[in-house]
Amino acid sequence: MSVRATIERKLAGGLAPSRLAVIDESHRHAGHAGHHPDGESHFHIEIVAEAFVGKSRVERHRMVNALLAEELAGRVHAMALTTLTPDEAGG
Domains and CATH numbers, the chain: 3-84 (3.30.300.90)
The Cα–Cα gap between 63 and 79 comes to 13
Nearest Cα to 79, choosing from 71, 90, 87, 89?
71
- How many C-beta neighbours within 10 Å does residue 58 have? 8
Arithmetic mean of pLDDT, 55-64:
98
Query: String of b and e for 29-40 (b: at least 16 CB within 10 Å)?
Result: beeeeebeeebb
- pLDDT for 31 equals 62
pLDDT, one tens digit per residue, over 8-56 is 999 999 999 999 999 998 866 566 665 556 667 889 999 999 999 999 9
Evaluate whether 55 touches 81 at the Cβ level (below 8 Å): no
Do you know the residue count of the chain?
91
